[in-house]
Amino acid sequence: MKLFKPTMLAIALVSVLGCQETAKKVEVAPVLDTEMQKQAYGLGASIGMYMQKNLEQHEKLGLPLEQALITRGFTDSLAGKSLIEKEEIQALLMNLDQAMKAKQQEVAKAESEAAIAEGIKFLAENAKKEGVQVTESGIQYLVLKEGEGEKPSAIDKVSVHYTGRFLNGEKFDSSYDRGDKPSVMRLNQVISGWTEGVQLMSVGAKYTFTIPSDLAYGPNGRPGSIPGNSVLQFDIELLKIEKAALPATATAHEATH
């Protein structure tokens, strides 16, 4: 079940307060015999799961909230006995949301700066390792296994198996985790580090690429999975090349030259 975002929580709680007149007190030992009873309990459980996650996030950001006061505010509102007016609650929740966003931006900035420093150091040390080659753009690669035959162009479609890792070795993505089915992509529709790097490979080859952040996901990263300014490592195995069809004009031109 998808949980509420902080801004949605504010709206949801204000809506609950607006319905105080018809709300009933929650039973201590609920009966869950019918579908409707389970749905009602599930709604409460969903709010509780969100709040648990929300409390943990606030704690990490240095904005601790007292769980007892949250519970008291909720039960008081259901009983029509809220100690704070609806308008003030809405303003308080908006302020809380803004404070959390400000802290998140502060943490993201610090992590981004740390990632830049870590990436620069790692790239400098990795470039000195035996077998590591560096392209003009700054991509570093190590040939684990060479392939044979032609190499793909930027407009070709390729089938690959890969594993992506952060510099600490933590895996963030892998085609192997999705079974035997490889990933298929057009090389001009992926990060530029892949576009350039995979063009160095022939079918059957397996390389380890270390890709600078500006050739990966840059300062914005990939929300929810990859922090900004992250240098990334990929083990890539090229399985198949599907050559892009040339436009009719290009084909005619080639035929006359």
> Hey, which residues are catalytic here?
162, 172-173, 191, 217, 234
Residue 119 and residue 195 in contact, taking contact as beta carbons nearer than 8 Å: no
- Distance CA(138)–CA(34), nearest Å, equals 62
Q: What's the token pair of residue 220?
A: 């914005």
Contact (CB, 8 A) for 41 and 77: no
The whole-angstrom separation of Cα 36 and Cα 29 is 16
Strand pairing of 157-165 and 206-211? unpaired
Q: Choose among 169, 220, 167: nearest CA to 191.
A: 220
Using alpha carbons only, give the angle 129, 135, 138 rounded to the nearest 5 degrees. 80
Say how far apart CA 206 and CA 146 lie, in whole Å.
7
Rounded CA gap, 28 and 205, in Å?
Answer: 63
Alpha-carbon distance of 117 to 58, in angstroms, equals 27
Nearest CA among 54, 56, 39, 42 for reference residue 8: 54
> Which residues face 161 on adjacent strands?
237
